[in-house]
Chains A and B, each alone.
Chain A
Amino acid sequence: EDKVVQSPLSLVVHEGDTVTLNCSYEVTNFRSLLWYKQEKKAPTFLFMLTSSGIEKKSGRLSSILDKKELSSILNITATQTGDSAIYLCAGGNNDMRFGAGTRLTVKP
């Protein structure tokens, strides 16, 4: 059965810290891995990763895919309170399988 596992499930840090969120996947017919940020509303798209070893960056956020290890990480540097959210990763093809998410809390 396809599954996507995220760790840690929750994380509390202070402003300025750097965090690394993990996502591992076992998905048949894998095409891409997606990262989303979900606050109180719908998830917002962060990154799409299809190629192994190529880092994608957007401001303080970056992500990379390791197809050999079937995993991905999402890094956030110099965290801010506005980064507090649930971070979801999803892997698959048309039928994306989502992980349970990592709940990140950034304290001032």
Chain B
Amino acid sequence: NAGVMQNPRHLVRRRGQEARLRCSPMKGHSHVYWYRQLPEEGLKFMVYLQKENIIDESGMPKERFSAEFPKEGPSILRIQQVVRGDSAAYFCASSPPGLLDEQYFGPGTRLTVT
């Protein structure tokens, strides 16, 4: 059973471009969470999704950031018009139904904005 998969592992974007980060949860997991880890800081919750639903997006910046988890395919975190401050490691985690707290993390995508 493959773990949580994220791609790309490294992403370089210039200021003003769009960044798309993908997350495929573990098989059987229907819940996806996105976190951001800034340099020298802890993980910060961004958004919690189930298939086709955003359950909690209280940690998402109000502008430029969006997330989706379609019926088919991976969850996508989209950052429009990236700025230098968006440079961070973005982790996705998934959990199975009924065990929402057992979150298993993917390897992360390191976004660098130049």
Chain A residues with a Cβ under 8 A of chain B: 31-32, 34, 36, 41-45, 48, 50, 88, 90, 92, 94-101
Contact = CB atoms under 8 A, between A and B. Distances in A.
Nearest to A96: B45
Given A41-B108, A92-B45, 15 more contacts: A42-B106, A42-B108, A43-B43, A43-B105, A45-B103, A45-B105, A48-B101, A48-B102, A88-B42, A94-B55, A94-B100, A95-B48, A95-B59, A96-B101, A101-B42
A45 B29 CA distance: 15
A82 to B, nearest CB: 19
Interface in B42-65: 42-45, 48, 55-56, 58-59
Interface string B62-105: 00000000000000000000000000000100000000111111
B48 A94 contact: yes
18 contacts: A34-B103, A41-B108, A42-B4, A42-B91, A42-B105, A42-B108, A44-B105, A45-B103, A45-B105, A88-B42, A88-B43, A94-B33, A94-B100, A95-B45, A95-B59, A96-B45, A97-B45, A99-B42
A42 B107 contact: yes
A42 B105 CA distance: 6
Contacts of A42: 4, 91, 105-108
A36 B103 CA distance: 10
Interface of B: 4, 33, 35, 41-45, 48, 55-56, 58-59, 91, 100-108
A93 B98 CA distance: 13
Nearest to B45: A95
A95 to B, nearest CB: 5
A98 B43 contact: yes
A107 B49 CA distance: 41
**Residue of A34, A41, A44, A88 with most partner-chain B CB within 10 A:** A41
A42 to B, nearest CB: 4
Contact of B102 (A31, A45, A88, A100): A45
